[in-house]
Structures are given as structure tokens and as C-alpha cells.
Amino acid sequence: MRIVDGRVPNLLILDGAITNAKVASDANVAATKLQTVWTTPLLENEGGATLVDPGTAYAEAGVLARCRAKIDFSLLKVSSVRVVVSGIGNEAGAGKGVEIYNVTDGASVCVVTWDGNAQQDGLAGSWTAFTPTAEKVLAVRVKGSSATEDITLHSVTLQLK
């Protein structure tokens, strides 16, 4: 394979596949399919949106009722998702968290949890397999470490790849 000015002439990569390439039989070729990560903000509030006593089970409380997103997944090829959160709880307990919930199918999509009462900025949950092929309504739900804990969220972002 000949490289000219940092490029390979006559090499076309289309939808992750190499097409129209002329490669010598003794060439060492490695191709990697690039994966795009889409970011969808579901809540952004610089001052923070405080959810008073949401409880210890995930709930769509307070301002979160206005954070639903309708996404047409027939237009996207998604394999996994995760939620990224900036927020804080006012109690030191364990197990507080944010969940992205699939309202259409009645199932949890992905979660992020944390312990303690320190501000969490850019806290990301694990990538979770999610392969929808139709339009879905997604909701943000939150839970505290106790029935009396308040959670303040500055941002909730859904990442898709």
C-alpha cells in the first residue's frame, strides 16, 4: 500500500467497509471501523434542579417529568448507551442514582449510581447493551439513598453508540 501526503490514494471507506482499494499481495493492512458516540442532553440546569425526597426507588419526580425524550431509533443504529450525570445528594448514604427509563417498553435502559454527598461532575455509568429499532420515549428517573434525601441535578446526558 502506498501512502502519499499522509493519505492512501484510491482508498475509499464507505459505511465502515473498505471499497475500491488496490493492495499489494504482500501488504500489511489493518482497518478499524470508527464508532460514533452521540450525546443527547436530557437536563441542563446550571443552578441545579433539586428533587425533594424522591425516595429509594427510581422515580420520575419534579422537573424530571419535563425531561422525556422521544427518539426515533429506526433512523439510528445504536448498540449501547450510558448516562452521564453532574449532581449531588444532601446525605452521605450509598446507592443514590439516576436511571434512563424506556417508557415505551417499561424497562430500565441504563443507570449511574454513587455514594456520599460530594458533588459528582461527569459521572458516567457503564455502557449497557441497547438495540432498539423503533421510536422510543425515554425518561430520567432518580433515587436517593434514603426516603428523605434530596438530589440536585445540574445535567443528565444520554450517550449512544
Please give the backbone phi and psi of residue 98, each rounded to the nearest 5 degrees, phi first.
-125, 140
Find out whether 41 and 155 touch, Cβ atoms under 8 Å: yes
Number of independent structural domains in the chain: 2
* pLDDT at site 61: 87
* pLDDT at site 82: 97
Whole-structure pTM value? 0.78
Please check whether residues 130 and 107 belong to one and the same domain.
yes
Please check whether residues 116 and 56 belong to one and the same domain.
yes
Segments forming the whole domain that contains residue 104? 38-160
Q: 102-140 pLDDT, tens per residue?
A: 999 999 999 999 999 999 999 999 999 999 999 999 999
d(CA 144, CA 126): 19
Q: The domain spanning residue 89 has which CATH number?
A: 2.60.120.1340
CA triple 26-28-30, angle to 5 deg: 150
